[in-house]
Amino acid sequence: MESKRTKREMIDEYLKNIIRNIPDKPGCYQYFDDKGIIIYVGKAKNLKKRVSSYFTKKHEESPKTRILVSKIRDIKYIIVDTEADTLLLENNLIKEFQPRYNVMLKDDKSYPSIVIRNEYYPRVELTRKIAKDGSQYFGPYTNVLSVKTLLELVHKLYPIRTCSLNLTPEKIAEGKYKVCLEYHIKRCLGPCVGLQSSDDYLKNVNAIQEILKGNTNLVSDGIYERMIALSENQEFEDANKLKEKYQLIENFKNKSTVVSTIKYNIDVYSYDEDESAGYINYLSVHNGAIIQAYTFEYRKRIEEAKEELLALGIIEVREKFGSKAKEIVVPFYPDLTLDGVEFSIPQRGDKKKLLLLSTQNVRQYKIDKLKKAESLNPEQRSLRILKDIQKDLSLKDLPTHIECFDNSNIQGTNPVSACVVFKMGKPSKKDYRHFNVKTVIGPDDFSTMREVVYRRYHRLIEEDIPLPQLIVIDGGKGQLSAACESLKQLGIYGKVAIVGIAKRLEEIYYPEDSIPLYLDKNSDSLKVLQHLRDEAHRFGITFHRNQRSKSQVKSELDNIKGIGDETKRLLLKEFRSVKRIKLASDKEVEKIVGKHKTALIRQYFAEKGQQ
């Protein structure tokens, strides 16, 4: 029993570690059993929340779900760009693998398409069946209502028939047909009785083809102009109806990356790497639909080129999955030649979108791997961030100890400065220090920075305390230059790295260099520097407020002889401010401090001309 329990705990820990690092993005997830077989495929607007819910709920009302969870041994997922794509991808995966626990989804229902029939006078209809009959098919689409709305709009813009009559030239010539209601409401021009020629009819069909291919600008621009005209005529109800149709047409301009209207049969690869490994994502696209996704890595032994690693990956996949694709989409050309296979690097269109989707997945795989490692060893993350800072700022030493300075004064009163300390990339609050500025009068940031930097490091040198590897100054070139003057005076300029961070564009300044450095807004390096700056500002502002409050109270009450701290506390507790003490009657003050001290207070304010 003990060994079984231990094994179960190991499985749970493995799955929890995967779930912990799943992204908050739309996509499909796949559950595998102990034999590596897919037993369930699901979709989610938020992968992390959905997958987590299987393992945080007891599922007392659903025995099937409880059994499913007990059999899960591995979890994989595919991220996509939109929630609509998750529906299509789930449909593809379930049809391809027919997982055991997807019984409720195992039906022949497929997503709707729009067909232009192969007829003399082609009909344009919604269909769920694709037949090799010479007709043109567009889709599939994820929303039936949207397809119906599109078809309705198409019929209004371009009058074409909706009947199922066999409109061959011979039948029309026989004169057996009559016009129907669609003709009378001007939604059909009567080709059944020869009132519209085949050429004129096909012009409308050709225009509809362009719309369904995604060339909807002409249509949407026309609708927009009509909408504006109706609005100017104050026909707001009709204008609003057109607005809804305009928005639907605009939505159709964005084509799905999961299912293409062109029936590609291709393999798609993307590549990413770090110092220790190369990562490859593979998407198998069959009839325009993604039916398989696989991400793996190669541990680097020597300095292998990315072209070599991608070539190894392609060979591995073709053997593993038996792929016979004649076209392979890649981000760069691999060191590989295959008979009868064409490699392409798309610059635009559906293939480019598929390559970008593959790239998303390989990058997410690398991020997940790093997060897993760092969740098991938090110090590893801190060390990585410090290495990033060292690299991004071109530092000689790893900045395990960083100090940041910020000045605070409001209208020149009570100038103070704060120094915060980060060790291993995290705040070390016991080492924070604040300074009352002694030699500067008025709001002079440069002189203040010069004084506090000198005082801080003069003391560290005197007490033989290790200096930081990096000093950060909150401010631009002026504050940085002032701080450097103090370091030069102390003889440590050049021995300790120092930079300034300006607030406006988060630019980083180096000493004696007028050209700033701009770090990636999402980089961990910039986030740590911002955290340092914000923490120094917070610490400095808090200290400054305290000093200012003490100064204001002291100027009014502490100068009165015979009034001690306890008396002052009682007065402020009762009256809340010095102003209210002045306005209070003698009896009200006497109740708190007695007649003698009331007289002292009144005498002080009378001499100051404040009563």
The dihedrals phi and psi of 48, each to the nearest 5 degrees, come to: -60, -50
Cα first-last separation, the chain:
87
So what's the architecture of 266-373 in CATH? 2-Layer Sandwich (3.30)
> CATH number for the 2-105 domain, one of 3.50.40.10, 3.40.1440.10, 3.30.470.20, 1.10.150.120?
3.40.1440.10
- Phi/psi class of residue 267: alpha, beta or left (left: φ > 0; alpha: ψ in -120 to 50)? beta
What's the mean per-residue pLDDT of the chain?
83
If pLDDT is split at 50, 70 and 90, which confidence band does 106 have? Answer: very low
- DSSP β-bridge partners for residue 259: 289
Cα–Cα separations (whole angstroms), residue 270 to 82, 323, 509: 20, 16, 37
If pLDDT is split at 50, 70 and 90, which confidence band does 104 have? Answer: very low
Q: Where are the domains of the chain?
A: 2-105, 113-214, 266-373, 392-547, 559-607
pLDDT in tens, 240-273: 878 877 776 666 555 455 555 566 789 999 999 8
Question: Which pLDDT belongs to residue 202?
Answer: 93
Which of 106-115, 434-443, 590-599 holds the top average pLDDT?
590-599
User: Counting Cβ atoms within 10 Å, is residue 164 exposed (0-12), middle (13-18) or buried (19+)?
Assistant: exposed
Closest CA to 431 of 462, 456, 464: 456
Proportion of the chain above pLDDT 70, given as a percent: 86
If pLDDT is split at 50, 70 and 90, which confidence band does 73 have? Answer: very high
Helix boundaries (H) for 72-165: 83-97, 144-157
CA–centroid distance for 595 within its chain? 68
Whether residue 502 is predicted with pLDDT greater than 60 in this model: the reply is yes
> CATH number for the 392-547 domain, one of 3.30.420.340, 3.40.50.11440, 1.10.760.10, 3.40.50.460?
3.30.420.340
Three-state SS at 74: strand
pLDDT in tens, 159-194: 899 999 999 999 999 988 999 998 998 889 999 999
The residue written with tokens 């060979």 in the block is 315
Verify cis geometry, omega within 30 degrees of 0, for the bond prior to 169. Answer: no
Report, in angstroms and rounded to the nearest whole number, the Rg of the chain calculated over CA atoms.
37
| Separation of alpha carbons 325 and 286, rounded Å | 9
Q: Do domains 2-105 and 266-373 have the same CATH topology?
A: no
Helix (H) or strand (E) holding 219: helix 217-232
